[in-house]
Amino acid sequence: MGYTIAEKILKQHAGLKTIQPGEFIEANVDVALANDITAPLAIAEFKKSGFTQVFSKSKIVLVPDHFAPAKDLKSANQCKILADFAKEQQIKNYFEVGQMGIEHALLPEAGIVMPGDLIVGADSHTCTYGALGAYATGMGSTDLARAYIDGKCWLKVPPSVKFIFKGKLDKWVGGKDLILYTIGSIGVDGALYKVMEFSGPVIRSLGMDDRFSICNMAIEAGARAGLIEPDEKTKKYVAGFKRKPKFYYSDPDAKYEKVYQWDISGLEPQVACPHLPSNVKPVSALKDIKVDQVVIGSCTNGRISDLRLAAKVLKGKKAAQGVKLIVFPATQKIYLQAVKEGLAEIFVQAGGVFSTPTCGPCLGGHMGILADGEVAIATTNRNFLGRMGSPKSFVYLANPAVAAASAITGKITHPARVK
Amino acid sequence: MIIKGKVHKFADDINTDDIIAAKYLVSTDAEELGKHCMETIAPEFTQKVSPGDIIVAGRNFGCGSSREHAPLAIKGCGVQAVIAKSFAAIFFRNAINIGLPFLESVEVDKINDGDLVEIDLNSGMIKNLTQNKNYQTQAFPGFLQQIVESGGLINYIRKQKGKA
């Protein structure tokens, strides 16, 4: 019987000869990640457990990125719990402000996560690393505490659903649009408890940054993981890192619960309207939606190609009067690259702020909270009621080019319309 | 395990930002988090809820973030169990891992706000005492029941490893 890539990775990590969807397994994890919101709970649970030594000094990753650089005293104290624990347990992969970035951009960039890995993270967007051909899944803090004890986690093997993208991508359309289109088609619980496997010639044509954007939002359809089989681009991306990758591929006779096949030729940039990521419309269907704030960045779209795309639209232009433009690169490396390439200057000349890496604005944490009645277009991943601040605010989700174009006109705008 | 309580009804797709907004994630204390449970969508909820009450909701309860603060906030405000048509996967495991009992039932539309219900986690039976009706649901597989009955994942692991 054939297996999907997800099943093969889980089978290997559980040390089993066979595996099937619905089965409960105990699996060994390669990476256990937590941040300044989730790690304090995980560390507290670990300390209460009576165990004193973590299972590995190299497989645990701690990234203070959500409310860091610390936004207030309480978050400073939370960040300090991570720093202290890292010191006490001699955890290698702790990233202090200055080295840290948004975790899901940082870990692939630093070669900490590899194809073939089983990665668990106390953050729902851990599914991002599926773009490398890894099984990466979001969990809670207690799951992490358990992994700290013995390096294991319990899992119910999910069934897989395949999404095949064919056709030709239009200009200004990328990975973000494909995943928004997918979530719009199947709904916020359209892949509940399932693995989403993305494939087809369109996926193969995309670079790694776009692939990360797609897998990042698998959770927004309720999925446990989103995977893309590795190819030459994946191999090139991970070449040169210390850890060695393991490449897994789905068998031709692998079983899928459902297969979606879409021709995306002519697909417009997609926009998710308030207050669900599944409330998706093509950008031209949105007329006269004024925006107060434009947010470009996050674990979904804060990578260098996202910033290049936004800068291409914004070059030599100004954000409309009264529009707050906030650009936040996902990591220090991306930040430096954007400075070197002159992208940072384009953003600042356009009247935007170019921020230090942080998850802040995306989850209404800091660095750009929305006031009552304000409207934002953001390249982030969630537009739930009150997500970016006031319960009376509105968030639209889009790709970086649409966000940049909207900053210039002050209304939600197709980038092709910017002269 | 038998649980009896008054019902508070919620809609489909109640997300973790609804359950506990990000601005309160600077605490890990269940009681403190419980003071702000459902604040964005139902500001009066924490005033109305009494210890032992039960949340009944639609599809995809707890979608969104991995924050374990969500089931903790629910526990912290006094709610002792949740019944929903379906649960988001991370919320599902978080609830198991911290020992917040819950059941999945397709019949939640028949349950009204304010009804008194009794649930049996071992058999999966939901008794609506107000309407005098019973709804049979699937009980959890044994492995998950053992975790809940141990009082959560860490206690379960402690037992397994002879620490408790």
- Check residue A279 and give its pLDDT: 98
Average pLDDT, integer, range A391-398: 98
Question: In chain A, what percentage of residues exceed pLDDT 90?
Answer: 100
Min Cα distance B124 → chain A (Å) is 19
Which of A26, A3, A237 is CA-nearest to residue A115? Answer: A237
- Check residue B142 and give its pLDDT: 85
Least CB-CB distance to A387: which of B17, B68, B98?
B17
Are A384 and A390 contacting, i.e. CB atoms less than 8 angstroms apart?
no
Least CB-CB distance to A140: which of B13, B15, B66?
B66
* pLDDT one-digit tens code per residue, A348-392: 999 999 999 999 999 999 999 999 999 999 999 999 999 999 999
Min Cα distance A165 → chain B (Å) is 25
pLDDT along chain B (164 residues), means of 10: 95 97 95 97 96 97 97 97 97 94 95 97 95 94 87 93 82
- Check residue B162 and give its pLDDT: 87
- Check residue B16 and give its pLDDT: 97
Q: Which residues contact A346 (CB under 8 A, 6 or more apart)?
A: A311, A314, A315, A316
Least CB-CB distance to A67: which of B26, B86, B143?
B26
Q: Tell me: pLDDT of A11 over 90.
A: yes
pTM (2 d.p.): 0.97
* Pairs of CB atoms within 8 A across A/B: 134
Asked if A222 and B60 come within 8 Å (Cβ–Cβ), the reply is yes
Domains A5-261 and A271-413 fall in the same CATH topology = yes
Mean pLDDT rounded to a whole number for chain A: 98
The reply to whether CATH 3.30.499.10 applies to domain A5-261 is yes
Min Cα distance B86 → chain A (Å) is 9
How confident is residue A185, by pLDDT bands cut at 50, 70 and 90?
A: very high
Full DSSP string of B104-148 = E-TTGGGSPTT-EEEEETTTTEEEETTTTEEEE-PPPPHHHHHHH
Min Cα distance B25 → chain A (Å) is 6
* pLDDT one-digit tens code per residue, A23-57: 999 999 999 999 999 999 999 999 999 999 999 99
Q: Tell me: pLDDT of A325 over 90.
A: yes
Domain A271-413: give its CATH superfamily.
Aconitase, domain 3 (3.30.499.10)
Min Cα distance A241 → chain B (Å) is 29
- Check residue B141 and give its pLDDT: 85
**Which residue of A126, A141, A367 is the best one to mutate when testing the B interface, meaning the one whose CB has the most B CBs within 10 A?**
A141
Beta strand A352-354 with A324-328 is parallel
Domain boundaries, given as residue ranges, for chain B: 2-160
Q: Which residues contact A363 (CB under 8 A, 6 or more apart)?
A: A66, A382, A387, A388, B17, B22, B65
Residues of chain B contacting A385 with CB distance shorter than 8 Å: 17-18, 40-41
In this structure, the number of other CB atoms found within 10 A of the CB of residue A27 comes to: 22
Say whether B54 sits in a helix, a strand or coil.
strand
Q: In whole angstroms, what is the distance from residue A7 CA to residue A159 CA?
A: 9
Q: In whole angstroms, what is the distance from residue A262 CA to residue A251 CA?
A: 21
Question: Dihedral of CA A319/A320/A322/A324: which sign?
Answer: negative
The reply to whether CATH 3.40.50.11290 applies to domain B2-160 is no
- Check residue B18 and give its pLDDT: 97
Q: Which residues contact B70 (CB under 8 A, 6 or more apart)?
A: B16, B19, B20, B62, B91, B94
**Which residue of A23, A65, A142, A220 is the best one to mutate when testing the B interface, meaning the one whose CB has the most B CBs within 10 A?**
A142
- Check residue A221 and give its pLDDT: 98
Question: Which of A85-89, A132-136, A200-204, B98-102 has the lowest average pLDDT?
Answer: B98-102
Beta strand A24-28 with A152-156 is antiparallel
- Check residue B140 and give its pLDDT: 85
- Check residue A389 and give its pLDDT: 97
Asked if B15 and A386 come within 8 Å (Cβ–Cβ), the reply is no
Asked if B154 and A384 come within 8 Å (Cβ–Cβ), the reply is no
Domain boundaries, given as residue ranges, for chain A: 5-261, 271-413
Q: What are the backbone dihedrals phi and psi of residue A309, each rounded to the nearest 5 degrees, phi first?
A: -65, -45
Exposure string over A78-90, b if 16+ CB within 10 A, otherwise e: bbebbeebbeebe
Are A362 and A388 contacting, i.e. CB atoms less than 8 angstroms apart?
yes
- Check residue A355 and give its pLDDT: 96
Asked if A189 and B88 come within 8 Å (Cβ–Cβ), the reply is yes
- Check residue B1 and give its pLDDT: 83
Q: In whole angstroms, what is the distance from residue A104 CA to residue A97 CA?
A: 16
